[in-house]
Structure 1
Amino acid sequence: MTRMCPLSGNQREQDRLKAQKKLAAANKGKNTSGISHTKRAESDAEIMRAKQAAKEAAKAAGGGDAAAKK
C-alpha cells in the first residue's frame, strides 16, 4: 500500500524533531528520582511487610484497632 502524500526526507526529520521537543516538554515536570521500577517495587514491598508485621503484632498483643474499625 502506498502513501497518499509522501513526505520528503527533510520533512520527516523536522516532524521527528518536533515530536521529540513535545515529548521532552511533557516529561519536564515529572519527578524522576532515579530509582528503577524494580527497586521501587522492592522498597514498597518491604514497607508493606513491616506495616503488616506491626499490625499482626498489635493484634496478637490484645486486639489493636482492627476490631474498633468494624
Structure 2
Amino acid sequence: MARGNQRDKAREKNQQKLAATKKGNGMSGSEQMREKDKVAAIMLAKQKAALEKKEADAQQSK
C-alpha cells in the first residue's frame, strides 16, 4: 500500500507545479493592445515585402 501513497503525493506535487505555470499573463489591457498592434505592424511589413518580391520576380521573368 506504500506505493499508493507515493503515487498520490507525486500527483499532488505535479498538480501544484502545473497550477504555478498556468497563471495568466501579467499584461494589462493597454499592454496587450500595444503588443497586438506591434505584431500586426510587423506582419504587414512582411506581407508588403513578400508582395514586392513577388512583383519583382514577375518582372524579371518576363
Question: What range is the shorter-chain TM-score in?
Answer: 0.3 to 0.5
Q: State the TM-score, normalizing by the size of structure 2.
A: 0.48
Instruction: Looking at secondary structure, tell me which structure has more helix per residue.
Output: 2
Q: State the TM-score, normalizing by the size of structure 1.
A: 0.43
